[in-house]
Amino acid sequence: MDQTQPIIQYTTVSDSVYLWVKNAIIQGEFKPGEHIAQERLTKTLGVSRTPVRDAIKRLEAEGLLITKPHCGAVVFQLSKERLTEIYDIRILMEQYCAARTCIRASDDDIRQLEEISLKMLDFSNNSKEFMQLDRQFHTRFCELSGCDDTVEILQGLWNKCDSFKSIYYSLEGRINDTLSEHAKIIQGLKNRDIDATKQAIYGHLKDVVECVGRQANFS
C-alpha cells in the first residue's frame, strides 16, 4: 500500500474532511470535550491544513465544535438530557405560538411560509443552507403569532438546537421528513385547525429527539 496516498479520496477535499470529522463526533470517536488538533487531522487524513481549517470552521458554525481560549476547537458536550430538555421546551413554546398564528396569519402569510418550505427543496444537498431555511420557516411561523417575547426566548433555544439539527440532517431521509412535516403544519394553518397545527409541530420536533437520540453516542 502506498503510504503517501491520502486516506480520503474525493473530489472536494474540504467537504470530505468535514464529513469525516462530523461522523467521528457523532459516532463518539471524538469524545465530548476532546481537543481537535489540526496537525493530527492533517497527518491522519493525508491532507493539507486548509481543508482541515475549513472543516473546523463549518463544524463550529453548526455547534458540534466550540472554541476555547488557549485550547482551540473542542467537541461539544452532547447529552440526551440536554437534547430532551431543549426540545420539550421548544415544543411547548412553538405550540403556544401555533394557537395564535392559526388565528392571526393571513392567507398571504401562509403562502409565504409555503414558499420558504418549497425553497428548501433547492438545498436538499446542502445541510447548512437547508438548516438556515428551516430556521427561517420556524422564525416566521412564530413571528406571525404576534408573541414577540416568546419569539425572543425561542431565538436562544433555536441557537442551542443547531448541533442536534446538524446530526439530524446527516441521517438518511430526514430532509424529506422535514418537508413533509412542514406541509402538515401549513395545512393546519390553512384549515385554521389549532389542534392539528399543534400536533404537527409536536411530531416535527419530537422526530428530531427520537432520531438523534438513537444515532448519537451520548455521554
CATH number, position 64:
1.10.10.10
> What percent of the chain is predicted at pLDDT more than 90?
51
Are 127 and 205 members of one domain? yes
Summarize the confidence of residues 49-62 as an average pLDDT: 88
User: What is the C-alpha to C-alpha distance for residues 177 and 12, in angstroms, rounded to an integer?
Assistant: 27
pLDDT at 206: 96
Model confidence pLDDT, tens digit, residues 94-120: 999 999 999 999 999 999 999 999 999
Q: Per-residue confidence at 216, pLDDT binned at 50, 70, 90?
A: low
Give me the domain span that covers residue 66: 13-75
Same-domain status, 65 and 86: no
Q: What nine digits make up the cell of 165?
A: 439539527
107 and 206 housed in the same domain: yes
Same structural domain for residues 112 and 189? yes
| Residue of 95, 140, 94 lying closest to 115 (CA atoms) | 140
The pLDDT of residue 24 is 83
Is residue 188 domain-resident? yes
Q: What total of structural domains would you count in the chain? A: 2
Same-domain status, 61 and 111: no
The residue-averaged pLDDT of 14-42 equals 84
CATH number for the domain spanning 171: value is: 1.20.120.530
Q: What value does the mean pLDDT take over residues 155-181?
A: 87
Q: What is the pTM of this model?
A: 0.72
CA distance 32 to 38: 17
Share above pLDDT 70 across residues of the chain, in percent, rounded to a whole number:
92
In a domain, residue 6? The reply is no
In Å, how far from its chain's centre is CA 79? Answer: 15
